């Protein structure tokens, strides 16, 4: 009842909402939060063999999803791709799929190393290959969220396992692995930050003319850089427009395929190559680069859609732009700050019981207008933080119950000793800081199913195993 109570809280929130239709829609989306706990808790729990088959089919489904997505990316499956997110054709967000992938990776680790599944040598080879591939796929899909959650969860599990181990050798080995993960991430991030802030000295002559004898425009007050080159110097738009319109079907004054103004994408791209923004600069671009600009790629280093380095560089660029007070619309990381500001403003006005189940869209719309948000109308979204989303709808009273429903099973039933539940719990809990995980049908179904399965669906297995982090043998989890 505590778990299903999250859905019942939404029913109570319907009593004081103004938009009943929106509230009923929200109840329908979140119906799995009621159905799965009731059905799975009221059913015969799975045997160890049955449970393993369920998890194996899930891993297989995730693996199949990665294969199909790669088919889209490589052109084997025909589907228009302008962004790495376009390779997911299952009507599910790339972030949700990243969470599925994380669970599949840790499930494979359990079958490999726990000592509670007698896999043959061939099965172990297959599982190692699959786990490696799933990790590589997270890199290919440039999922900063997925990789962050995977590495953070792995570090926590290693530390917890080290605490539970009796033998000093295993403790040291696990602590070393946890430290290695942390140090590697810090090193890579520092390396990319340093590389991003490299500045190329460019001599500026305000009287200089283009090769065609036309004057340049300079905005030396704007310090924006692209690959270390200043963006807003040596610009001649008439020449760029003339040459661009000769080479592209998308006109200079139109938008690229990501909805951005082509001229700004072109200016950034030319700058990233160290070219001047004039006719000669556009003429030097290759056909591939013209196609990239049409697709909304604004930096020569971002052309590889599967480059995690390029994604991290984009995040750094977004952050720099945001700190300069520029519009963060369309920038997936920095626009979240605006989402959170809007949510905080609503919470200040409705701190106790929130705005109700159906009034969230209207409350956000009013808050954005009231604060004259920098975000363009099409980017004025909800909080993208589940804790803020719950507080907006149900106030701090609702947040208190939601946190209780998350922590009570973990602590009361000692589920932190259950590898599957604790891993799932960590993944979901971490995801809720940057995503409103329960606000979409796939997210609500994902949470409700696995939360109920690991809590109620394997009681026989839990009686057979004292816990997954200790036992008669020392296995590295």
Q: What is the full per-residue pLDDT of the chain (477 aa) written as tens digits?
A: 898 999 999 999 999 999 999 999 999 999 999 999 999 999 999 988 899 999 999 999 999 999 999 999 888 998 887 777 888 888 788 889 999 999 999 999 999 887 777 778 888 999 999 999 999 999 988 888 899 999 999 999 999 988 888 888 888 999 999 999 999 999 998 988 888 878 787 888 888 999 999 999 999 888 888 888 999 999 999 999 999 999 999 999 998 887 788 999 999 999 999 999 999 999 999 999 999 899 888 888 887 766 777 788 888 888 887 877 778 887 878 889 899 999 999 999 999 999 999 899 999 999 999 988 888 888 888 888 999 999 999 999 999 999 999 999 999 888 888 999 999 999 999 999 999 889 888 899 999 999 999 999 886 544 444 556 654 444 333
Instruction: For the chain, state the CA radius of gyration.
Output: 26
Distance CA 456, CA 247 (A): 62
- Quick one: DSSP state of residue 47? P
**Coil, helix or strand for 220?**
coil
Distance CA 369, CA 355 (A): 17
**74: CB partners within 8 A, 6+ apart:** none
- pTM for this predicted structure: 0.84
**Coil, helix or strand for 150?**
helix
Residues 368, 375: contact at Cβ < 8 Å? yes
**Coil, helix or strand for 429?**
helix
Residues 120, 72: contact at Cβ < 8 Å? no
Tokens for 223, please give them: 């310090």
**266: CB partners within 8 A, 6+ apart:** 240, 244, 252, 277, 282, 293
Distance CA 109, CA 475 (A): 11
- Quick one: DSSP state of residue 157? H
Distance CA 56, CA 67 (A): 17
């Amino acid at each position: 009842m505590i778990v299903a109570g999250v859905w019942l809280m939404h029913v109570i929130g319907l009593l004081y909402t103004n938009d009943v239709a929106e509230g009923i829609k929200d109840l329908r989306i979140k119906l799995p939060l009621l159905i799965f706990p009731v059905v799975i808790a009221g059913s015969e729990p799975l045997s160890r063999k049955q449970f393993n088959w369920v998890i194996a089919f899930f891993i297989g489904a995730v693996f199949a999803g990665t294969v199909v997505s790669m088919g889209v990316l490589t052109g084997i499956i025909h589907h228009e791709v302008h962004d790495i997110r376009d390779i997911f054709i299952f009507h599910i967000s790339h972030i949700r799929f990243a969470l599925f992938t994380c669970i599949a990776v840790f499930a494979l680790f359990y079958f490999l190393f726990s000592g509670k599944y007698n896999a043959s040598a061939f099965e172990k080879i297959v599982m190692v290959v699959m786990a490696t591939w799933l990790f590589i796929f997270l890199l290919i899909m440039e999922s900063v969220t997925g990789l962050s959650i995977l590495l953070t969860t792995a570090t926590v599990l290693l530390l917890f396992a080290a605490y539970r181990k009796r033998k000093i050798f295993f403790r040291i080995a696990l602590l070393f692995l946890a430290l290695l993960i942390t140090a590697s991430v810090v090193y890579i991030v520092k390396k990319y930050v340093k590389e991003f802030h490299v500045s190329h000295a460019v001599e500026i002559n305000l009287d200089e003319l283009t090769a065609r004898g036309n004057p340049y425009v300079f905005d030396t007050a704007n310090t924006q850089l692209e690959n270390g080159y200043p963006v807003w110097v040596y610009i001649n738009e008439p020449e760029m427009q003339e040459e661009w319109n000769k080479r592209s079907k998308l006109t200079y004054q139109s938008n690229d395929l990501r909805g951005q103004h082509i001229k700004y994408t072109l200016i950034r791209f030319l700058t990233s190559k160290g070219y001047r923004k004039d006719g000669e600069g556009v003429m030097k671009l290759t056909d591939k680069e013209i196609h990239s600009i049409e697709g909304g790629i604004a930096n020569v280093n971002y052309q590889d859609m599967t480059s995690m380095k390029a994604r991290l560089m984009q995040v750094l660029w977004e952050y720099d732009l945001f700190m300069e007070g520029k519009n963060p619309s369309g920038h997936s990381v920095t626009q979240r700050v605006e989402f959170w500001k809007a949510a905080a403003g609503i919470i200040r006005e409705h701190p106790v019981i929130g705005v109700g189940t159906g009034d969230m869209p209207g409350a956000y719309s009013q808050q954005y207008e009231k604060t004259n948000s920098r975000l363009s109308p099409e980017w004025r979204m909800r909080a993208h933080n589940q804790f803020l989303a719950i507080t907006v709808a149900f106030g701090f009273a609702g947040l208190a119950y939601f946190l209780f429903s998350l922590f009570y099973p973990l602590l009361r039933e000692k589920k932190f000793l259950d590898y599957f539940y604790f891993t799932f719990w960590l993944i979901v809990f971490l995801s809720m800081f940057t995503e409103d995980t329960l606000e979409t049908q796939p997210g609500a179904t994902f949470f409700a199913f696995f939360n109920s399965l690991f809590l109620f669906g394997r009681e026989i297995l839990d009686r057979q195993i004292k816990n997954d982090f200790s036992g008669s043998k020392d296995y590295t989890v």
